[in-house]
């Protein structure tokens, strides 16, 4: 290996290279609005994907995809030479998008379990407020051309607190005589799914509020596994709690049989009981059977 000494060059006059960068001419008003519209559309699609997520893992993935989209669009807009009257407003929009990306990568998503709560959390962020402000400034910076962007940004909303009534049957059992008595002594609402041991879909699913009790009737003879999920804010469309969620399964199975004289009645308690004889295990949220 060799290492050459730096060249010192000779004295005398000579030509020097150009040090200035060539600035691209501004795009036309129509081209600029088209770029803003494209950004709006790309980010709106990413926001919709966040809202559609229904498990903690898919929420995390959708938010990461949204962050990447924000980075991409910020880079694309940064490369544009905007019309002169809105140059400062354009710069502010790019800065706000950069800030939104940082906020999305550093947000506290631990209590979030589904997309609707994720969007509420994002909507209240400081950087998204900056994006809305930049969009408003851009709309008025040139009275002759009210540029529009920002429809992708969800309005600031508080966390929802949706609940079903105690004993609401999300999926109703039919045809049997078996019963399952449920006691929820905990401080959070729960949803219980009764699933045949050889199936993946529940035969009955019921909502039991905190401190509530309910008896499920009409369970056919078979051996079942019992699953439970608990949390806050039940999203009926996503069929999951959107915050502070937990997913579990009773380790034992439950056999229901009917004779000419009797039928099976099982009783379960959803909170730990001193001297209780049932244990449970954590379940992958993606595998939780609601219906």
pLDDT for 5 equals 36
Look at 7 and 43; give whichever has higher pLDDT: 43
pTM (predicted TM-score): 0.82
pLDDT tens-place string over residues 228-274: 999 999 999 999 999 999 999 999 999 999 999 999 999 999 986 54
Residue 8: pLDDT band (50, 70, 90) is very low
Mean pLDDT value across residues 188-192: 97
How far is residue 27 from each of residues 38, 43, 72, 118, 142, measured CA to CA in Å? 15, 22, 19, 36, 15
How far is residue 261 from each of residues 230, 257, 266, measured CA to CA in Å? 36, 11, 17
pLDDT tens-place string over residues 18-68: 444 446 789 999 999 999 999 999 999 999 999 999 999 999 999 999 999
pLDDT for 1 equals 41
pLDDT tens-place string over residues 60-107: 999 999 999 999 999 999 999 999 999 999 999 999 999 999 999 876
4 pLDDT more than 60: no
Instruction: Kindly write down the DSSP assignment for every residue of 156-219, as one continuous string.
Output: P-PPP---PPTTEEEE---S--EEEEEE--SSSEEEEEEEETT-SS-SEEEEE-TT-EEEEEEE
Q: Buried (b) or exposed (e) across 130-163, using 16+ Cβ within 10 A?
A: bbbebbebbbebbeeeebebbebbbeeeeeeeee
- Find the Cα–Cα–Cα–Cα dihedral 182, 188, 191, 196, rounded to 10°: -60
Give CA–CA dist 38/149, Å, rounded.
9
Give CA–CA dist 88/106, Å, rounded.
27
């Amino acid at each position: 290996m060799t290492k050459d000494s730096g060249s010192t060059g000779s004295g005398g006059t000579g030509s020097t290279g150009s040090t200035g960068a060539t600035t691209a001419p501004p795009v036309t008003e129509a081209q600029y609005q088209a770029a803003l519209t494209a950004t709006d559309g790309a980010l709106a699609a990413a926001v919709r994907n966040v809202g559609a997520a229904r498990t903690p893992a898919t929420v995390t993935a959708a938010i990461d995809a949204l962050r990447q989209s924000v980075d991409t669009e910020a880079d694309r807009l940064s490369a544009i030479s905007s019309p002169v009257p809105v140059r400062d407003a354009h710069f502010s929009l790019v800065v706000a998008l950069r800030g939104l990306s940082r906020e999305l990568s550093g947000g506290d998503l631990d209590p979030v379990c589904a997309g609707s709560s994720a969007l509420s959390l994002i909507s209240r962020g400081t950087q998204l407020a900056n994006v809305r402000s930049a969009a408003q400034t851009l709309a008025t910076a040139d009275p002759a051309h009210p540029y529009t962007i920002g429809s992708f940004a969800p309005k600031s909303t508080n966390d929802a607190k949706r609940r079903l009534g105690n004993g609401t049957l999300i999926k109703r059992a039919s045809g049997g005589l078996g019963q399952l008595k449920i006691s929820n002594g905990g401080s959070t609402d729960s949803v219980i799914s009764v699933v045949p041991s050889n199936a993946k879909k529940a035969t009955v699913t019921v909502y039991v509020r905190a401190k509530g009790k309910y008896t499920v009737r009409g369970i056919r003879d078979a051996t079942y596994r019992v699953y439970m999920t608990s949390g806050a804010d039940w999203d009926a469309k996503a069929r999951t709690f959107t915050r502070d969620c937990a997913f579990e399964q009773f380790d034992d199975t439950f056999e229901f049989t009917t004779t000419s004289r009797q039928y099976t009645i099982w009783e379960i308690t959803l909170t730990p009981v001193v001297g209780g004889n049932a244990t449970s295990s954590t379940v992958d949220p993606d595998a939780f059977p609601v219906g």
